[in-house]
Structure 1
């Protein structure tokens, strides 16, 4: 094609289309109303003297509060690890070919999901009324409030984790198990090396939510006098009668901890989502790098 023909061809091109964005006044009105409501709430919380923010700041890092915070984190970690391991075993039993093991797992999950956690904690706390001696030990000395909290939380969490793990295992393509069996792998190896790593993609999101719920649910151990975060602030406001600011101290700590727990959950979900169809959205750090890189050009 000659230069003249190229110029004539360019002249024949239609002008570029100017895309006009669709106006959405309703969205702007709703956004303005939402911002106004949030601003009113924040202003009320900050300026209301009844919240006594100076008292909140004074007790936020008090020794008793921090000790209760450590116990809360310890209970959460123990219940999470113990409950997940026992729940995984229960899920494997439920899906096994043995009707006896499947029935035991089903009955366990049914029982511990059907009774309130507070009832279970009170039961373990008062186990000495049923069994004064167990395996040659005095249960009143063996089962303290902290031990009762650990046993109750682990057993309860295992029932929840069992259903989460079972659903994750069932989400794996049966062809994966068939291929592993064709290679002569044992059933245990198939479960732990083939099925569970792929099931984690479906297990991590609900298990992360369950962990956050467990962290907040540990507050119930204060009913059996375990020195957790809530029990610590209760001891303080029972002495100085500053109920609202001390409850705000506990609330702020729970908000901080649940926010921090959401970070590893986010990256675990991204890790186990590798290999799926579609591009994963960028992380906050990647967005910042792209934004600064774009601004530097």
Structure 2
């Protein structure tokens, strides 16, 4: 009969491994086997094959004169058109930002008249196409032949509403409606306790907006504003309809005289891609900067993403 004291308790822990000299051996390292995602490789190969077929189709197309694309890429009229595109985009965006801030403050005002006027402005300019608005400004002389501001200014409307002015007003006033909603969202994102605390300290409403509310709202306002500017670069191609010689109009003018219509559209597309790509990089780092106060871990930069992907690829190859 076995003594009950000789039995090992059920909850007793197994003894650690002991080496020959009596010392405890370290625990064996865990051999982690990474999961192989074969579906990712298959989908990647399929996508690359489709892209290769598309590129080959354009590269071997007999009716595309690729030498004309290279010859006209830095043509003086194309470069000038790209410069006008940047100019009209920057000026229209500046107008949209300034007027958008004013409209956002009016929309949030407790005065029903100013709030209603701001809502009506946003409702009209967001509800009608930019193309139609550009035509309305360009043909304003049909309604008002003379611009009469009394003793301040008086002139023929056709002389005032030039293609540049029609493009600037059409793009800028339309952008103001969208910026007003972006700014309103940013102002509403600031906690009301900030405003109450500033009022308790005796600060006026305007000083509270300048020093307390607006600086904190910029974290919400700035990132979508950068996206709006990139969109403005592409929307500026619509000013073609008011005869403003921007990039698209310059490219199509050359294409109609040189019988290289598609080639000149490719040239314009390359310039738009370059401009939007450059400003997309600025937008990315701007968003990353303003994310410092709201996110513990900042998003990785493009170079950091490339390094991470290369390390992951090398690890998977080593495991295979």
Could you state the TM-score of these two structures normalised by the residue count of structure 1? 0.90
1:273 aligns with 2:291: yes
Closer, same or farther in 2 for the Cα pair 1:10/1:52, shift >3 Å?
A: farther
Q: Distance in 2 between matches of 1:140 and 1:234?
A: 25
Closer, same or farther in 2 for the Cα pair 1:174/1:51, shift >3 Å?
A: farther
Aligned counterpart, 1:146: 164
1:116 aligns with 2:129: yes
Q: Give the counterpart of 1:260 among 262, 278, 289.
A: 278
Q: Give the counterpart of 2:237 among 215, 219, 226.
A: 219
What CA RMSD, in Å, does the superposition of the two structures yield over aligned residues?
2.2
Structure 2 residues not aligned, in runs of 5+ = 1-17, 149-153, 309-320
Aligned counterpart, 2:263: 245
Aligned length: 286
What is the Cα deviation at residue 284 of structure 1? 4.1
Q: How does 1:273-292 map to 2 (within 5 A)?
A: 273-284=291-302
Q: Distance in 2 between matches of 1:131 and 1:138?
A: 9
Q: Distance in 1 between matches of 2:163 and 2:220?
A: 35
Aligned counterpart, 1:18: 31
Q: Larger Cα Rg: Structure 1 or Structure 2?
A: 2
Q: Distance in 2 between matches of 1:98 and 1:84?
A: 22
Closer, same or farther in 2 for the Cα pair 1:201/1:9, shift >3 Å?
A: farther
Structure with the bigger percentage of helix:
1
Q: Distance in 2 between matches of 1:59 and 1:88?
A: 41
- 8 Å CA contact 2:103–2:118 kept in 1: the answer is yes
Closer, same or farther in 2 for the Cα pair 1:31/1:284, shift >3 Å?
A: closer
Q: Distance in 2 between matches of 1:224 and 1:288?
A: 44
Deviation per residue, 1:157-210 (Å, 9 max, x gap): 100110111111112222222222222222112212222222222222222221
- 8 Å CA contact 2:288–2:299 kept in 1: the answer is no
Q: How does 1:88-103 map to 2 (within 5 A)?
A: 88-103=101-116
Closer, same or farther in 2 for the Cα pair 1:167/1:54, shift >3 Å?
A: same
